Amino acid sequence: MSAAPNEPADESQRVFELQEQVDQMKEAIASHAVVDQAIGMVVALGRVTPDLGWEVLKDVSQHTNIKLRNVSELILIWGRTGEMPPEVRARLEEALDRHGPTQIPGAPSE
């Protein structure tokens, strides 16, 4: 049997679709790594659990209307340079106040 005339076009389309999926997966993996690193910074800074670190990032993202990945990138840049947009910094502090511990672990009670 001979191949249908439109098979090469179908194969090309399929290759194109698979390449798009690979590109999306690569982007998702990179995004996930950025968010995980930012969670780590929030955990260390705010002395919160990783789950609460995630909540803090989501909170900042929602209150600044900035995508979670971008908030995470800003936090990583802040860790390297000490610079952060004032609005993001204010929202981060507020979120840590809401989600963070009321006392530093190991500190004597008053």
What is the domain partition of the chain in residue ranges? 26-99
Task: Give the Cα separation of 55 and 47 in Å (integer).
Answer: 13
> In this predicted structure, what is the pLDDT of residue 84?
94
**How far from chain centre, in Å, is Cα 24?**
15
The pLDDT-based confidence of 16 (bands split at 50, 70, 90) is: confident
* pLDDT at res. 8: 64
Contact (CB, 8 A) for 24 and 35: no
Q: Which of 59, 63, 62, 85 is nearest to 73 (CA)?
A: 85
How many C-beta atoms surround the C-beta of residue 36 within 10 A? 13
Taking the complete model, does pTM exceed 0.75, yes or no? no
